[in-house]
Amino acid sequence: MLAHYIVAVFFILSQALASRGEEVAYTWSVSHAEAPHSNRTVINNVLRLPVVNVTYSDVLVVHITNQLDTSISLRLLGMTNTTTDTLPCLLAPGDSSTYRFTIEQSGTHYIAVTSVSRQHSSVLMRVPVIANDADEVFEYQDESVFLFEDTHGMFTVNGEQRLPRILMTPFWVYRVRLLNLGHTSVMFSMGQHELSLMEIDGIEYEPEPAHSVNLLPGQRLSAMVTAKVSNDVNYAYQATFFDSSASLDLADGGQPAKSADIRATYQGMLEYWTGNPTKPVGDWAATGTRLHTAQMTPMARFGEWEPTTIVSISECVRVKNSRSISGADTSDTMQISDTTGKWPLCEKSHSVEVTLKYQEIVQLEVDSVGSMLLWLNTHMFQVITKEKHMGASHAELRSVDRLVAGNLTVVRFRADVPSVWDLQIPGAPRVVFVEAADRISDTDFC
């Protein structure tokens, strides 16, 4: 009998260890690049970003040294089910620390390296993280990763000012991972090959066809591409960088409205046979399927987070805590506005500071008078409502989204990033979020 118990315990322990996965370790030194690129932040003094490869259930270990003159923090963005085994802390200049993340969600993600102070926080770089799954839902034979960056007027793909050549095998299915790590938008087309979009910001969706896709700043997409049977011709494919403001009124897959909005265009080759002529992209992207990502169906539904604080922004900013949300108390409601004069209390200030407790759920309601991108520091947020815009919501998770003029948008995020950051909505005062202020003190360094 004792032997049976020993065997059972051994089996349980072995299963637990197997489900834990392996430790995947990286060692990074974050610093300014050497001249003439000293205005860039780099890892291990290499201009090209590293790509972190892990598998579901692995433990990602990052040993990091801060060689900058500002405090920094690390955040793994996009994994809704991932455990951060390291408590949020700040890494002071010259210090080293180790971050540990348990990978509990596959997909295309990134680590945000953020400069943090008591006055302001800003993302210095986004390091791509590819989380694979042994039980992958989608079948494909090969994959390509595209990292789009723009730094001080230089637009690059995988660190180069060109697109790579891709060797194509007839009938093969390829996964294309697209990560926009910069501040401009990117339109991507596989040139005469249809894209089947199936991942947005780390969340898997039922596949939808498109001739091209637009990536907003910070956005990640994955698509499947089936190779043709081609013995006599190769194909060009294309990526175009353009101002983010030019994409605000376009459907996904649309073209920049004016050539002046375009910052750079690169073409590469899908090579079936060396030496064959290359068929140009032509008007494939412009005339093809326009895909509305908000109408896509996620493969897994997410329950809506229950808010404890509501921040409403239109011509005036209103902030309500959990008691005033439930209707039990309205004394903690405040409002501040710009100079419209619609609310007398709001004329006194052009900004409002909102203090958030660590881990509380914040509902942000925005009725914007102008179009803009909604980017909430390094938060993933749930899109609850997008009135008058592309149908009902599935409480889908996003890292960036569009605000459309005259459109009520309601999103929710978790205040789990100790930092100070601001949000400026057209026609409204600037909102400064002081998030988990008690964790930005001198005692919260790593």
pLDDT, tens digit, for every residue of 58-111?
A: 999 999 999 999 999 888 876 654 445 555 678 899 999 999 988 988 899 999
User: The domain 309-444 belongs to what CATH superfamily?
Assistant: Cupredoxins -  blue copper proteins (2.60.40.420)
In terms of pTM, does the model score above 0.75? yes
Residue 16: its pLDDT value, please?
Answer: 45
Average model confidence (pLDDT) across the chain = 79
Q: With bands split at pLDDT 50, 70 and 90, how would you rate the model's confidence at 271?
A: very high
- Domain layout of the chain by residue ranges: 2-132, 142-295, 309-444
- Among left, alpha and beta (phi > 0; psi -120 to 50; other), residue 285 is alpha
- Greater confidence (26 vs 201) lies with 26
Give the CATH fold of the 2-132 domain: Immunoglobulin-like (2.60.40)
Q: pLDDT of 372-429, one tens digit each?
A: 888 888 888 988 887 654 444 556 788 888 887 778 889 999 988 877 888 887 767 7
Domain 142-295 has CATH 2.40.50.140: no
| pLDDT > 80? residue 113 | yes
For residue 351, CA distances in Å to 9, 252, 411 come to: 60, 33, 21
**What's the angle, vertex CA 181, arms to CA 179 and CA 187, rounded to 5?**
60
Average pLDDT value for residue range 216-229: 92
CA 104 – CA 371 distance, rounded (Å) = 35
The reply to whether 309-444 shares the fold of 2-132 is: yes
Lowest mean pLDDT among 43-57, 191-205, 279-293: 279-293
| pLDDT > 90? residue 145 | yes
**36 phi and psi angles, rounded to 5 deg:** -95, 15
Q: DSSP letter at 296?
A: -
Lowest mean pLDDT among 52-61, 181-190, 314-323: 314-323
For residue 182, which of 156, 208, 144 has the smallest C-alpha distance?
156
